[in-house]
Amino acid sequence: MGRSGQPTLMVAMVLLFLAGCSTTYEPRLDLTPPEVPRAIDATVELHPLVAADDLKSGHATYGVLAEDYKNRPPSALTKRITDEVLHELSTQRVFRHIGTYVPNPDYVLTGRVEQFYEHDRRKLWAYLPYYSDKLAGLFRVNSYLSSGAVKLTMMMITPSGKVVGTYSGVAKIDEDYTPNDEMKPGDRLNRAFARAVAQIRDKMLDDPDLPKSRLPSTARTDDTAATPAGPSTAR
């Protein structure tokens, strides 16, 4: 290989090294149980959530924006969000049964991801060489800032297409912090994800148009009611 090919090879090696050092954000949903143990007495078919156009096109941040972090492609990230929603709604027995393919369901649940991001960065003064650590230690101030938001909208419809209810969940991220190993980039986004979905769950449980049933005090189960994906019969 001639000298002309050496810079190109070095750049490629550097890019591969940087890519190998980055962490991929993974959505995780962990809901706290509702205050009153109850369920919606219905079978529900969950359709894949859809991301807003600006998230799919890359015009808005989708996932985690932080040093050494990367995100899945929009379609893959939306699928992971759908999987987490299905798992938690099933694990907590929010419905009598929920799955991605349910023969003759009572309802169909659809959703849209409007916002879903976390932006972690240093404060401007923290870029000062040598002095930033001393200033942080002297004044006991946090050197990083985290901002972001999760906004989800879900709609319950009948198989014939009649809208039963629309439910939204919104959670903001606005924190100063000092980096540590216990709260990493993406963890705040997952907490906001949980708050937004909990709002939606509670609104569905409070909807008088949806039939309810009481649950035993232990509502969570590790045996999810999700069924394998397949073609939908509900329209």
Q: Dump pLDDT digits (tens) for 44-84.
A: 999 999 999 999 999 999 999 998 899 999 999 999 999 99
Query: Six-digit token pair at 145?
Result: 């800032």
Dihedrals phi, psi of 154, to nearest 5 degrees: -125, 145
Dihedrals phi, psi of 65, to nearest 5 degrees: -110, 105
Q: How confident is the model at residue 20 (pLDDT cuts 50, 70, 90)?
A: low
Dihedrals phi, psi of 172, to nearest 5 degrees: -105, 155
User: What is the length of the chain?
Assistant: 235
Contact indicator for 111, 49 with CB cutoff of 8 Å: yes
The 3-state DSSP class for residue 84 equals: helix
pLDDT in tens, 133-153: 555 455 455 567 889 999 999
The structure's pTM equals: 0.78
User: Where does residue 104 fall: left (phi above 0), alpha (psi -120 to 50 degrees), or beta otherwise?
Assistant: left
pLDDT for the residue numbered 167: 98
